[in-house]
Structure 1
Amino acid sequence: MNSSLSADVFDALHELVRLFRARMRKSMESVHPELTFNEIRVLVHTGRRPGLTQKDMVEHSHADKAQMARTLAQLEEKGWLLRTASESDKRVRCLQLSEQGQALYAQLRQLRDGVARDLLQDCPEPQQAQLLALLQLAGDDARQRDKEFQQP
């Protein structure tokens, strides 16, 4: 494979993600102007995976632990997030959306789906499915290579 082609793939992905984030921010301004993109990410990920831990969220977002703790505290103060002790380990905090958070998550999911559909409207669904499968395969391979790279 042409080495610049590989880099071009990541450039195209980066640009598409940049456009998606910009549209999401603009769309969210009409719903909740005070929400940050990081808060949106936390709400969406928690909505998709209720019961995940703060550690899971740090690993998913690649955010600093202290920054994530502040974001979670802010979301909890706003009444959108609940942090409860794990049944198996009382030191571990599990995340779930409050009733208000679930309503906000439904709005976020709807906006997110609409932005994604709009950005990919000229790409037929079968090609979108193919692209998703290729990206998942590439991601799985990259994670495996990363694990091998990090081992002594």
Structure 2
Amino acid sequence: MAFDINEFLPYRMVRLANAMSEAFSEVYEQAGLTIPQWRVLVHLAQHPGATAKQLCDLASMDKSTVSRAIKQLQQQGMLVAQQSETDKRATEMTLTELGTVLYETLTPEALVWESKLLSELNPDEKQALLATMKKLEGHFLT
């Protein structure tokens, strides 16, 4: 059996994810954000008080990438970090008002972008895609 990299599912999924990420960048780049900053912003909006370690896990990003994104968002006034009340070794992050406004501005645009993408599929294809993704995520992300 010949191996064709172009038919190899992991390769195809990575290529598709990269292409989608590049196309989606138009949404967050208008606000001057990078992909890691966008992901940290969204996860903090949905998980206020998260630590850097928790953000790494939530966003599936490495520690140095998350740390850099946190630092940049702090410098832009999008988030604040403070020592945890319950664990003095941990630093918890929350969005500032500016960060929250940006999140509330960008997420509707993200949903419109996703809707346009999914409009390429009929309802049965969309349901099958989402079910298959959930199954694969359950295998690899648990």
Whether TM-score is above 0.5 comes out as yes
Task: State yes or no: 1:18 paired with 2:24.
Answer: no
Q: Aligned partner of 2:73: which letter?
A: L
Over the matched positions of the two proteins, sequence identity in percent amounts to: 26
Superposed CA deviations along residues 46-89 of structure 1, whole A, max 9, x for unmatched, are 22222221001123344442332222111011111121222210
Counterpart-to-counterpart distance in 2, 1:18 and 1:67: 17
| Map 1:16-95 → 2, pairs under 5 A | 16-29=16-29, 31-32=30-31, 34-95=32-93
With normalisation by structure 1, the TM-score equals 0.75
Give ranges in structure 1 of 5+ residues lacking alignment. Answer: 145-152
With normalisation by structure 2, the TM-score equals 0.79
Q: Aligned partner of 2:80: which letter?
A: L
Q: How many residues align?
A: 138
**Structure with bigger RCO (C-alpha 8 Å, 6+ apart):** 1
Q: Aligned partner of 2:121: which letter?
A: C
Cα distance, 1:130 vs structure 2: 3.5
Counterpart-to-counterpart distance in 2, 1:63 and 1:138: 19
For the aligned residue pairs, the C-alpha RMSD in angstroms reads: 2.4
